[in-house]
Structures are given as C-alpha cells and as structure tokens.
Chain A
Amino acid sequence: EAQVTQNPRYLITVTGKKLTVTCSQNMNHEYMSWYRQDPGLGLRQIYYSMNVEVTDKGDVPEGYKVSRKEKRNFPLILESPSPNQTSLYFCASRTSGITDTQYFGPGTRLTVL
C-alpha cells in the first residue's frame, strides 16, 4: 500500500529537549515536505527536499532542521524545542510535476511544555 508514515503520532516534551520526528514514504517520490498546521493558519511549509541531499527552507524554517540521506526518509529535527513549536506536523511526498498529487502522513501532534 502506498503510504507516508510518521512517528511518533503524539509527543509531549519539555523545552530544550532535542527530538526527532521520522517520516518515511514507499512510493519512490523525489519530493518531500514538512508542514505545520495551526488553527486559522492552514498548513505552512517548514522545509522541503527535491531529492537526496537537496533540502531548502520553506516559509517557517526557524527552529527546525531536516536531512535527506535516503530517498524514502525525511526526518524533522527540533534541536531545542520551545512552546511556540507546539503544533500538528505533517510530512508529505510527491513526484516533481506541478499537477502531481501530494500524499500526506497521518500527522504528529507535538506539545512542548
């Protein structure tokens, strides 16, 4: 089954404690993204990757890091989480065409205390 998986689905942590949210896709897609979803703001792109070892900032990259060492994996790293990073996070993947469908993971709800 074609899918994007994320782990963990729920996470409660404290300010400053480094964490990683994993993302994996089994569709051999070149393009992967991370978004955060906040009430009234829709989805905002954090980082994206056009292929292995190629990453770039989205609209709200501050406080986040990513890496793309393999085509299927695109982890999101919060080196020193802060309460304003409490949000719902989605990983997504697609091929590189402008009309192509983007596939989303189930989401990770992060709470930073």
Chain B
Amino acid sequence: GDSVTQMEGPVTLSEEAFLTINCTYTATGYPSLFWYVQYPGEGLQLLLKATKADDKGSNKGFEATYRKETTSFHLEKGSVQVSDSAVYFCALSDRKGSSYKLIFGSGTRLLVRP
C-alpha cells in the first residue's frame, strides 16, 4: 500500500542554519504531496504542497520539489528561525476507491536554538 517515510528526529539546529528534512514515498498512482507543520499545542496546518511531478511548493521560506524519479519530497529552508521549532509531517494524497486518502509520515521534530 501507499506509504510515507520521513527521517527520524529530533533535528537540532542553530538559528540561521540550513534545514533539510527528507521524505520519500511509495504510491501506486500519481499522488499529491504535502508538508504539514504542527506547532506546540496546536493542530496540524498546511505548510506547502505540490500536485504533480517537478512542481515546487513554497511558503514562509520553506520549499519542497516533487521528484517522481526518486519518489521524494524533501523539505528545505535556507535559514531557520527559533519560531520554526515544530513537528513537520510529510503526507501524500492518493485515490482510495471513490475518495482520496491522506497518508502521513511519522513526523520529524525540529528544534532551533538561538
């Protein structure tokens, strides 16, 4: 079945460091790919998405490119801030019968130190 694999955390960085969180997926169809972020004590919220191969999603300085050849959707940011500390979830949306199912990775906790 479809699945999403993320690098294990926690990832600890100093402020202004470069961030990469790896995400790979397995899917039988042509999924859409998402990154969601969960700040402490809150629900998940969409960070960015890409709906087809070679699309780049971007938001708040974060980017991720849909790479079909490597089945990857790695999250990157050039210069992280303390406020980026959160848990990041990679997810895919694929057809399930007449509906679409969202499948999540296990999440990667990011801690940014001043």
Q: Which residues of A contact B (CB under 8 A)?
A: 4, 31, 33, 40-43, 45, 48, 50, 90, 92, 96-99, 101-107
- A selection of 8 A-B contacts at a CB cut-off of 8 Å is A4-B43, A31-B99, A42-B105, A98-B32, A99-B32, A99-B51, A104-B43, A106-B42
Residue of B at shortest CB range from A101?
B46
Bound Cα distance from A97 to B34, whole angstroms: 14
Q: Distance (Å) between the CB of B106 and the closest chain A CB?
A: 4
CB <8 Å contact, B49 and A104: no
CB <8 Å contact, A42 and B93: no
Q: Distance (Å) between the CB of B2 and the closest chain A CB?
A: 11
CB <8 Å contact, B93 and A40: no
Q: What is the number of contacts between chain A and chain B, taking CB atoms within 8 Å?
A: 54
Q: Which residues of B contact A (CB under 8 A)?
A: 31-32, 34, 36, 41-46, 49, 51, 89, 93-95, 98-102, 104-107
Provide the residues of chain B in CB contact with A102, threshold 8 Å: 44, 46, 102
CB <8 Å contact, B49 and A99: yes
Bound Cα distance from A28 to B36, whole angstroms: 22
Provide the residues of chain B in CB contact with A96, threshold 8 Å: 99-100
Bound Cα distance from A65 to B36, whole angstroms: 27
CB <8 Å contact, A40 and B49: no
Q: Distance (Å) between the CB of B30 and the closest chain A CB?
A: 9
CB <8 Å contact, B89 and A98: no
CB <8 Å contact, B44 and A98: no
Bound Cα distance from A106 to B43, whole angstroms: 4
Provide the residues of chain A in CB contact with B98, threshold 8 Å: 50
CB <8 Å contact, B89 and A42: yes
Provide the residues of chain B in CB contact with A31, threshold 8 Å: 99
Q: Which of A33, A45, A101 contacts B49 (CB 8 A)?
A: A101
Bound Cα distance from A105 to B38, whole angstroms: 11
Once A40-B106, A41-B106, A42-B89 are accepted as A-B contacts, the answer to whether A98 and B43 lie under 8 Å apart by CB is no
Q: List the 3 closest A-B pairs by CB distance, nearest first.
A: A104-B43, A42-B106, A43-B104
